[in-house]
Amino acid sequence: MITYKFFSEYLNQSRFIRKLFIATKPIYVRHLKEFSKGNNEESFDNYGEEKEKYLKSIMTAVGSLQSYFEDLEKVVLFLKVDKSKIPNLYKDKLEADNYYKYHYDNFIVRVVTSIDICGKIGNLVFNLQIQERYANWYSFTVHPTVKDTLPAQSLSKFSDFLDEFKTQRHSKVHQGQNPKNRFDKIIFWDTINKVIGKPKDTHDNILEEYTKEQIQEAISEIETVISEAAKYTFEFLDSMESRLDEIILN
């Protein structure tokens, strides 16, 4: 059985995250104590010295990235729902094939967007001052301050990995269809039987088992992509370790 390594496992092993946590933990503890006394005109995020606020903003951005990947990984949980339960869950308003295709497209949009969140974190860590609406993986990698550096190279490799999925996302977002939806390759015999009004027979059990095997194969491929996306994400974060050291020590 293949074991997939997801975001939380990479998180626990990341040098960047470890250093960031060690640096910000005492800041959060002290600020929470001081903030609890009241009489503070600033918001919690804007409370403290400039470096303290800067480190807290990086921590907040990383927290958002974690939440994003947790949502991405939930796609797998939805896909692993027992196929036979889907009609009851949605009161026969959603056929199984459309259920799987919907969650696959959700996966595509989310996994491709993950690299842009990395670009925004890079913009913050290096203080590149790229406007929020223009901050993404590409604007980060071509910025003169970081161009040709290890962080920029890390995101470029991540982008190369995502190329196939970017094309699918573009089709879905701009044309409303994804002609390469992974679940289009799977024949859902129960849906076909329902459409043509064919009663079940002895062959259907064999065909149903084959469909389930194909679904599991597709889910395994998706898990692999999510695991790889998490790996590239943390390679990027750890490539910024020396920059984080500068922020902490200055």
2 falls within a domain: no
Highest mean pLDDT: which range of 5-9, 142-146, 184-188: 142-146
Q: Is residue 196 in a domain?
A: yes
pLDDT at residue number 203: 65
Query: 């600033």: which residue's tokens?
Result: 42
Reduce the DSSP state of residue 3 to 3 states and report it. Answer: coil
What's residue 201's pLDDT? 66
187-202 pLDDT per residue, tens? 888 777 776 766 666 6
Cα–Cα–Cα angle for 67, 171, 151, rounded to 5 degrees: 45
Find out whether 118 and 151 touch, Cβ atoms under 8 Å. no
Q: By the 8 A CB rule, do 156 and 118 touch?
A: no
pLDDT at position 43: 81
The number of distinct structural domains making up the chain is 1
pLDDT in tens, 227-240: 999 999 999 999 99
Q: What is the mean pLDDT of residues 134-159?
A: 97
pLDDT at 223: 95
Domain for residue 158, yes or no? yes
Calpha distance 42→15 (Å, rounded): 32
> Which H or E run contains 122?
helix 96-125
For 150-201, the pLDDT digits (tens) are 999 999 999 999 999 999 999 999 999 999 999 999 988 877 777 676 666 6
pLDDT exceeds 90 at position 2 = no
pLDDT exceeds 60 at position 76: yes
Q: Dihedral sign for Cα 145, 142, 61, 3, please.
A: negative
**What DSSP assignment string belongs to 33-83?**
HHHTT----S-STT-S-HHHHHHHHHHHHHHHHHHHHHHHHHHHHHHTS-G
CB 119, CB 138: distance < 8 Å: yes
**Can you give the residue range of the structural domain that contains 112?**
7-249
Q: Is residue 1 part of a domain?
A: no
Using 50, 70 and 90 to split pLDDT, how confident is the model at 34?
confident
Q: Does 241 have pLDDT greater than 70? A: yes
Q: For the full predicted model, state whether its pTM sits above 0.85.
A: yes
Average pLDDT over the chain reads 91
Residue 195: the pLDDT is 67
215 in any annotated domain: yes
pLDDT at position 144 over 70 = yes
CA distance 235 to 237: 6
Task: Give the pLDDT mean for 209-225.
Answer: 94
Q: Does residue 92 carry a pLDDT above 80? A: no
Q: Indicate the range of 19-33, 39-53, 58-72, 205-219 predicted with least confidence.
A: 39-53
